[in-house]
Chains A and B, each alone.
Chain A
C-alpha cells in the first residue's frame, strides 16, 4: 500500500520555558494551578497594561499634570488602538492563511501607503500635502489600501490555485515595485518635499490627529466587535480549508469577511501612524505560546494585550530610561525583522 509520510504538525515556534519557581512545593503547586487558568493569564496581562498606562501617564510629569495628561492621553489612546489592530489582525491573518510567519503587511499595506503619499506630494506639491485635510488624506489612504488588498487577496485566494507561496511572492514583488516607483518619484522631488515624505515613512505614535484617532478607534472597535461571533469559526479554520468545509463552514465567504476586517484594521492604523511591518509577528507568536491554546477567544485578546504592552513598555523604556524620542518604531521594526529572520531560518533548518 502507498504510504505518504505525513510531516509532523508544525510546532509553535516560540515556547515559553516552563515557569520554574523558587517557591516551596506548595506555593509552586498553587502557582501552576493558577497559571493553568487561561482567563487569569489574560487578566494578568490586563493588569500589566493598566500599570504601564498609569506609569506612562502619571510619572515624570514636567509641568502641569492636566496638560501632560492631555498630550499623553492621546498618544496612549493611539497606542491602544494601533496595538489592538495589529495584534488582532495578525492572529486572524495567520489563521486564515494557515501560516505563522507572515503578517498582513505582506499584502503591501506599507508600500502602498508610501506610494499614495508620494503620489500626492508629487502631483499636488509638499505644501498642499501638508495643508491637505488630514481627514481626506486618511480616508483616501484607507479606502485605497482596503480596496487594493481585498482585490489582491481575492485574486490570490479566491481562485483555484490558492497558495501561500504565491501570495508571498506577489506581495514581495508588488511591494518592491511600489517602493521603486515611490523612490523614483521621490528622486524628482525637491529637498523640502522629500523631507516631508521621509517623516511620513516612519510610524509615529506621538501627537496623533484627534479626529483621525477617533475614526480609527471606531473602525477598529467595529471590526473587533464583528469578530467576536466569529471566534469559534476561526478555531475551526485552524484545521485548514478541507476540514473546515467538512465541518460546515462556508470557507470562502468567511475568509473573505475576515480578511476584509483585517485589512480595515491594518489600513486604518497604518493611515493613522505610518507603516508598521513586523511588529504583529512578534506579538502573535508570543501570544500563541503565552495563551497555551489555539482557541481564538484566548489568542486574540492575548495578542492585542501583548501588543499594547510592547508598545507602551517600549515607549516607557525609551522615553523615560534612555530619554530617546520618536525611535520606538525603528526599534520595534528592527526587533521584528530579526525575529522574522529567526523564524524563517528555523523553518528552513527543519
Chain B
C-alpha cells in the first residue's frame, strides 16, 4: 500500500497539501479527482519522490520513499506525469526501452526485450514502433507513454491525467486498457481524472481532493451524489441513473 502520514506541502505561504493522511494502492483502480489546483499532481509528486513533504511522510509498502534507494523504488512504482516534454527526438521503441531501465540498467536482456514487446503489443503500438513521438497523434503518444510505464513492470502505476488531449474514442480506449492492466496484470493503478463519469465507470474507489485536503474517499456510488460533487467542485452537478449506473451531468 501507498500511505501518506500527515503529508504537507507548502509553496511559500500557500499550503497546497494540508496534513493529508490516506492509504491507497489496493487491488484495482483508485481514481483521484478534484478541481484544478486541488493538489492532485502534488500528491503524486510526493509519492513519486519528485517533491519532498514539508511535514509528514510517504510510505510505499511500509518503507519511507525518502530513505528507500531510488533505483529500488523504480521497480515498485511507476509514475506517468501530466506533461511529458522531451527535447530530443525519440521513437516509441526508444521510450519503452527507457522504461525498462530500472531492470536493465541500459543492457537489455532477452527478458527485457520480451517485456518491451509485450508492452508495445498491449497498447497496439506495433505499427508505430519506429515512429518518432512527434510524428504521432496525441492519443498515440499518450499510449506510447503508458507503454513505457507498463514496461517498467511495477506493482503500482500512477497516472496523472492520462486522458489529456484525447478524443472520446481514445479516452474510452485508454480507460479500458487501464482496467485490463489492473484486472489481467494485477497492477494497482492510481489515476487522476477530471471526467468523473470515467472515474465512476472504471474506478473501484474514488478519492476527492479539494484545496489540499481529502474531502471524500469512498466507493463510486457514495461519491456520485450531487451533494458530494458540489462539495468537491463547488458547482451544481446533477446525477442521474442511466441503465443502473450513476451519470453526472455537468454541462450546464
Interface residues of A (CB under 8 A from B): 1-12, 94-95, 98-100, 231-233, 235-236, 238-240, 242-243, 245-250, 288, 293-295
Contacts and interface: CB of A to CB of B under 8 A. Distances in A.
Q: What does DSSP make chain A's interface, helix, strand, loop or mixed? A: loop
Contact of B87 (A2, A238, A246, A293): A238
Interface string B65-82: 000011111110111011
B89 A12 contact: yes
Nearest 6 interchain pairs by C-beta: A232-B106, A248-B74, A1-B194, A248-B71, A294-B88, A8-B134
Given A242-B50, A248-B70, A294-B90, A3 B164 contact: yes
A237 to B, nearest CB: 10
A76 B49 CA distance: 48
Given A6-B83, A6-B165, A238-B87, A246 B138 contact: no
6 contacts: A232-B106, A238-B86, A239-B86, A242-B48, A248-B70, A248-B102
A246 B85 contact: no
B14 interface: no
A95 B86 CA distance: 11
A294 B84 contact: no
Contacts, number: 113
A11 B163 contact: no
Given A2-B194, A6-B138, A248-B102, A98 B87 contact: yes
Nearest to B101: A247
Contacts of A246: 48, 50, 74, 77-79, 81
A70 B74 CA distance: 54
Contacts of A236: 98, 101
A9 B134 CA distance: 6
A2 B161 CA distance: 9
A18 to B, nearest CB: 15
A3 B167 CA distance: 11
A30 B194 CA distance: 52
Q: Which of A5, A6, A239 has the most CB of B within 10 A?
A: A239
B133 interface: yes
B75 to A, nearest CB: 8
Nearest to A293: B94
A247 B102 contact: yes
A298 to B, nearest CB: 12
Given A2-B164, A3-B164, A8-B134, 7 more contacts: A238-B88, A240-B87, A242-B48, A242-B50, A247-B99, A247-B101, A294-B94
B195 interface: yes
B250 to A, nearest CB: 10
A186 to B, nearest CB: 39
A243 B90 contact: no
Contacts of A5: 165
A247 B165 CA distance: 25
A93 to B, nearest CB: 12
B95 interface: yes
A22 to B, nearest CB: 27
A250 B71 CA distance: 8
A283 to B, nearest CB: 16
B232 to A, nearest CB: 14
Given A232-B107, A247-B152, A248-B102, A99 B83 contact: no
B98 A247 contact: yes
A3 B165 contact: yes
A238 to B, nearest CB: 5
A231 B101 CA distance: 12
A250 B69 CA distance: 9
A245 B50 contact: yes
A76 B66 CA distance: 50
Contact of B49 (A11, A95, A245): A245
B36 interface: yes
B73 to A, nearest CB: 7
A13 to B, nearest CB: 10
Which residue among A2, A100, A231, A250 has the maximum number of chain B CB atoms within 10 Å of its CB? A2
B105 interface: yes
Contact of A243 (B71, B73, B84, B132): B84
Nearest to A7: B85
Interface in B121-135: 132-134
B70 A250 contact: yes
A137 B99 CA distance: 47
Interface centre among A7, A94, A242 (most CB of B within 10 A): A242
A247 B74 contact: yes
A263 to B, nearest CB: 21
Nearest to B100: A247
A295 B195 CA distance: 38
Given A233-B106, A248-B70, A9 B87 contact: yes
Interface string B36-60: 1000000000001110000000000
A238 B101 CA distance: 13
Given A4-B164, A6-B138, A238-B90, A231 B71 contact: no
A242 B72 contact: no
Nearest to B49: A245
B186 to A, nearest CB: 20
Contacts of A235: 98, 101, 106
A350 to B, nearest CB: 12
A249 B81 CA distance: 16
Contacts of A231: 106
A9 B133 contact: yes
A243 B102 CA distance: 12
Contacts of A1: 163-164, 194-195
